[in-house]
Amino acid sequence: MQTDGSTTRPPRSPRATAPTLLYARPGIVVTSERFNVGGNSWRVAELTQLWTARGPHDRLALRAVAVTAALIGTVGVLLGFTGGLQRLTATAYLALGAVGLLPLLLVAIGDRWRPPAYELWGRHRGAEVLLFSSDDQRQFGQVTRALRRAWEGARQGGWTEPPTSADPWRPKR
């Protein structure tokens, strides 16, 4: 104890510091040293690039668009060869035009119903690797930010903990 009433702590012993936990949810853990998703695990220091992308569109929606476009095209060709296009009224032409927009409507509905997944890609030992994929934009953003923080920390030479455990200075009253 010092004369002014303050106390001093002995210096900390140099020991290995535990990795800093940046994100943890069931099946996903991001620390300052490792990135674990499901059964896969990567050392953050071994990742050389990180980028995000959107996954492929839903297969069912793509098939529905292809079938609809093929049917509309077939009907148009058959009407053209049979001479039926010359006998159609203006209302029928408008109806054909509206039906022609059906594939675009199916694309819009398919993307709202089952949007493409958000994907986080990286280079690990020279190979492109899909690190993480999610339909949830919020979760994807949190995981991506945590991994980028860990990756930048590894590039800067490691993590140093802020001095949160030190006692703050308080004036004597």
Residue, of 23 and 82, whose pLDDT is higher: 23
CA distances to 47, 52, 148, 163 from 32, in Å: 12, 20, 10, 17
Spacing of C-alpha 93 from chain mean position: 44
Strand pairing class (28-31; 34-37): antiparallel
Spacing of C-alpha 101 from chain mean position: 31
- pLDDT tens-digit profile of 80-118? 777 666 777 778 777 777 777 777 777 777 767 777 889
pTM of the model: 0.58
Q: Amino acid identity of 83?
A: G
